[in-house]
Amino acid sequence: MKHLLKLLDLSKEEITELLDLADKLKFENKHGIEHHLLKGKTLGMIFQKSSTRTRVSFETGMVQLGGYPLFLSSNDLQIGRGEPVQDTARVLSRYLDGIMIRTFAQQEVEDLAEYGSIPIINGLTDFCHPCQVLADLQTIREHKGSFDGLKMCYIGDGNNMANSLIVGGLKVGMQVAVACPKGYEPDEQVLAFAKEQGGFTLTEDPKQAAQDADVLFTDVWASMGQEGEAEKRRAVFEGIYQINDELLAAAHPDAMVQHCLPAHRGEEITAEVFEAHAQEIFDEAENRLHAQKAVLVKLLG
């Protein structure tokens, strides 16, 4: 494992190794055990999309590991003013030990890895969100003990979260069911992977997807960069693609609910369901820190 570009690149064993390391680092963190495993290392963090959790968790994680995080907005870099990504990659590789980038195009992340000579971490693209889903998997395993026999359900837009949840869930051995409106399905590359694996269902019916599910996921109907489509999307999703008490009744009685945040209460999830499952959702948010520290140690250590 030289980079974290997308979960499609990782084996089940590599994912499990990262989750085991994340659990270890979380235990040490909770017990005040310092782990300066990246002392003297510098992580450049490129943000072409803003974020609360990604920025704070990566900065905090690098500090806890003894390293130094360097925040780089698109306003700080020539990449935002037309410098080719391959030139940026080669320059930053001379200064830094690793790069985390949160951007729009997956190709930009792939190009950084191709032309640079240091590890590249995908902090989010329009195609996938591997760091979030590693934290999601860590949270599921914490609450359920293992992935054996579990069914994951995702309700909503077939976006970057849906893409990564499908791949991550199937790779660790869960059944995965996804309910999306027609025209809002996950990426074709991801659906082709899922078809090869088996254990995957794609439907337009949320209740069918949620049937006997052990963990239910959702995300906002309009992701960052899709604000202009918000009203159109609301007309398609509203009243159907929502985690509510009626949908939960189809799942297992002890089903978890997860949300990558920020959540729009009353849209993709009701306020009542969100608050009833807030402990699980904020465990998930916290685990961004621990899962990403595991990625950093694996790649930069």
Looking at residue 209, what is its pLDDT?
98
| Whole-number Å distance between alpha carbons of 183 and 220 | 16
Confidence check: pLDDT of 81 > 70: no
Q: Which residues of 270-299 are buried (b: 16+ CB within 10 A; e: fewer)?
A: beebbeebeebbebbbbbbbbbbbbbbbbb
Q: Which domains does the chain show, CATH number per domain?
A: 3-129+288-300 (3.40.50.1370), 132-286 (3.40.50.1370)
CB of 141 closer than 8 Å to CB of 19? yes
Catalytic option among 64, 219, 277, 292:
219
Average pLDDT, the chain: 96
Closest C-alpha to 190, from 172, 168, 221, 206: 168
Is 219 known to be catalytic? yes
**pLDDT at residue 55 is higher than 80:** yes
Single-letter code of the amino acid located at 182: K
Q: Is 180 a catalytic residue?
A: no
Cβ proximity of 43 and 68 under 8 Å: yes
Give the H or E element holding residue 256.
Answer: strand 256-259
Q: Averaged over 71-87, what is the pLDDT? A: 80
117 assigned ligand-binding residue: no
Report pLDDT for 148: 97
What pLDDT is attached to residue 104?
94
Residue 258 confidence (pLDDT)? 98
The reply, when asked if residue 260 is annotated as ligand binding, is yes
Report pLDDT for 76: 77
pLDDT at 11: 98
Q: Which of 129, 141, 259, 277 is catalytic?
A: 129
102 among annotated binding-site residues: yes
pLDDT number for residue 77: 78
Q: Residue 300 in contact with residue 66, Cβ under 8 Å?
A: no
Instruction: At 92, list the tokens.
Output: 């930053």
Helices (H), 102-148: 106-115, 130-144
Pairing of strands 42-47, 256-259: unpaired
Predicted pLDDT of residue 280: 98
**102 catalytic, yes or no?**
yes
pLDDT at 229: 87
Average pLDDT over residues 253-282: 98
Percent of the chain surpassing pLDDT 90: 91
Q: Which of 128, 153, 180, 260 is catalytic?
A: 260
pLDDT at 293 over 80: yes
pLDDT bin (cut points 50, 70, 90) of residue 181 is very high
Q: Is 129 a catalytic residue?
A: yes
Q: 187 falls in which pLDDT band (50, 70, 90)?
A: very high
Q: How far is CA 192 from CA 27, 172, 188, in A?
A: 37, 17, 6
- How confident is the model at residue 24, as a pLDDT? 98
Dump pLDDT digits (tens) for 85-133: 899 999 999 999 999 999 999 999 999 999 999 999 999 999 999 999 9
3-state secondary structure of 117: coil
User: Residue 80: what pLDDT?
Assistant: 58
As a whole number, mean pLDDT of residues 40-47 equals 97
- If you average pLDDT over residues 142-165, what whole number do you get? 98
129 labelled ligand-binding:
yes
The active-site residue, picked from 102, 233, 277, 290, is 102
Question: Known binder of ligand: residue 224?
Answer: yes
Can you tell me the mean pLDDT for 129-148? 98
Was 223 annotated as part of a binding site? Answer: yes
Q: Is the peptide bond before 206 cis (omega within 30 degrees of 0)?
A: no
Q: How far is CA 168 from CA 80, 147, 186, in A?
A: 32, 11, 14
Does residue 53 carry a pLDDT above 90? Answer: yes
Shortest CA distance to 29 belongs to which of 65, 68, 59? 65
